[in-house]
Chains A and B, each alone.
Chain A
């Protein structure tokens, strides 16, 4: 009985903290995306980039993030896993992580004219399959930032 009460308490607490953190994070991501909307252009898979203007600098830029779920999300996902279907709690985590990694990469390359061939690399840090632990996900976004020379 005592254990059940503690579990319910934990679920309620982590539901509150998790949803507050997620809401704030999404708000911040949206603001930053709007700020960068016209800045460096991202294009996926421009393998052989043929420039039309003289180039000043070519550089590799990266952005990393490690994001984790919470106890409540894990509980819900485990329940849903039994019946199958979409695991919405984990979808939102991955979405947040990827967008955050991309934003960090773009913020590092604020000076650049264009970022080409952006790639995303994802890995689960702890193996959580059939275990009662919360997954953590490491995401690296990387691409080539190209700066044109200023027109004279």
Chain B
């Protein structure tokens, strides 16, 4: 599966359009890590456990989007965007959406 955030796949031609696909996930860390992050927040600097959480959430959102695209028999997702929002403290929502398309290589 090819994923891009531009309006085409460079070097390939769009054959058919399959529609909008999206994937979202809401994740949280456990209370102990929340407490640790709270302490870290007091002294300043990067919150590593929350960065990990964000990476996991982003991976899961993309995977869900890919699953949906596979069901539509697409082989690429173009113009992908991420949207994030905060629901409660210590939880992260990541939403990924894009257009599923069928692409083929340009001959010659």
Residues of A within 8 A of B (CB): 13-14, 17-18, 21-22, 25, 46-51, 54-55, 58-60, 62, 64-71, 73, 100, 116-117, 119, 121, 123-127, 134, 136, 138, 140, 142-144, 146
Contact = CB atoms under 8 A, between A and B. Distances in A.
Interface of B: 2-11, 37, 40-47, 50-51, 53-55, 58, 62, 80-86, 89-90, 92, 94
Contacts of B40: 68
Given A65-B51, A125-B50, A125-B92, A14 B7 contact: no
15 contacts: A18-B44, A21-B45, A25-B46, A50-B10, A60-B5, A60-B80, A71-B42, A71-B43, A117-B5, A123-B86, A125-B89, A127-B86, A140-B84, A142-B80, A143-B5
Contacts of B53: 66
Given A51-B11, A140-B54, A144-B5, A121 B86 contact: no
A123 B6 contact: no
B10 A55 contact: yes
A18 B5 contact: no
A88 to B, nearest CB: 15
A121 B41 contact: no
Nearest to B50: A66
A142 B84 CA distance: 13
B44 A22 contact: yes
B84 A121 contact: yes
A126 to B, nearest CB: 4
Contacts of A17: 43-44
A64 B47 contact: no
Contacts of A25: 45-46
A92 B58 CA distance: 26
Contacts of A22: 44-45
B6 A116 contact: yes
B50 A138 contact: yes
Contact of B44 (A14, A60, A121): A14
Nearest to B48: A66
A107 B3 CA distance: 19
A138 B46 contact: no
Contacts of B80: 60, 142
